[in-house]
Structure 1
Amino acid sequence: MENNAASKLTPQSPIWLRTFVETYQILSTDNLNLLASIYHTNILFIDPMHKVEGLDELYKYFNSLYSNLSRCQFVIDNIVTQGDEAALYWTMTYQHHKLNKGDVVTVQGSSYIKGHNDKVIYHRDYLDLGAMLYEQLPLFGKLIKWIKKHASK
């Protein structure tokens, strides 16, 4: 865990938050079973591509996502917490053989999470899907970058 994220967690931080942060630092295709240790069975997970309800469906979703990646790592850069809610600011680096010519892609994002009974029951991710996915596609990526460049003029 990065020092700045670790400094935001204290022994008084909720157990669900500490476990969540520690687990995301090591999550990979080899240990997706750890999802059960951080997510409530009734988890509602939302990201720019999907809305997933329930731990079994979340496991299937993550398994599908991670199985196509040769590398994926999250670094939690900052945490803001209040009661049973937290906002996490993170940097994700990943590699997919069909995206960005197989080179590493770095995306910054944030997550809003809620804890319930020592597990996360609500998780919503906010990130630039264009930077994460569309800009990494050979032809579509050039078009998206062109649109972004000319939209500001």
Structure 2
Amino acid sequence: MTSQHIQRVIDQFEKLSPNSIDALVALYSKDAFFKDPFNEVKGHANIRHIFTHMFTQVNNPHFVIKNTLENGSHACLIWEFIFQLKKSPEINQVIRGCTWMTFNEEALITEHRDYWDAAEELYEKIPVLGGLMRWLKKRARE
């Protein structure tokens, strides 16, 4: 894997829009595996659905790639996902995480695994659920 291939992936993620989802999905092998805290799917149609669904769930979603690590056919992208909740579009929300990717000989993504803490990065930001999550976290530390 070359830095040029990784940069192509970064560029697609950072400029992702409803109109560019197909260009992003084209970077995946046809039978690519995708996993995040909410999804575990395989194949172009399912991966396309995840990114399409993202644009219906939140306002102005976008990724900022903060750093990358590369090792042969693997790469790790450290990112911030910035968006606004539908009920409070004036407030930017940020989820911090990383993606581990494996590439094949054609430089297509065969595995995409997102790692981020759904409790801290998402649930704690939801009004009623957030209070419960913070209380649970406090109790766990006692």
Alignment of 1:1-150 (within 5 A): 13-98=2-87, 103-116=91-104, 117-150=106-139
Cα deviations by residue, 1:69-113 (Å, 9 ceiling, x for unpaired): 211121111111111101111111111213x67621111101110
Aligned residue pair count: 141
Describe the SS at the equivalent of 2:41: strand
User: How far apart are residue 55 of structure 1 and its match?
Assistant: 0.6
The TM-score normalised by the length of structure 1 is: 0.83
More strand by share: 2
Counterpart amino acid of 1:21? I
In 2, the alpha carbon distance for the partners of 1:92 and 1:101 equals: 15
Contact 2:9 2:24 in 1 (8 A): no
In 2, the alpha carbon distance for the partners of 1:31 and 1:67 equals: 15
Describe the SS at the equivalent of 1:104: strand
User: How far apart are residue 18 of structure 1 and its match?
Assistant: 2.1
In 2, the alpha carbon distance for the partners of 1:89 and 1:47 equals: 14
Structure 2 residues not aligned, in runs of 5+:
none
Aligned-residue identity in percent = 26
What is the aligned-residue RMSD (CA, Å)? Answer: 1.9
Q: Which runs of 4+ in 1 moved over 6 A?
A: none
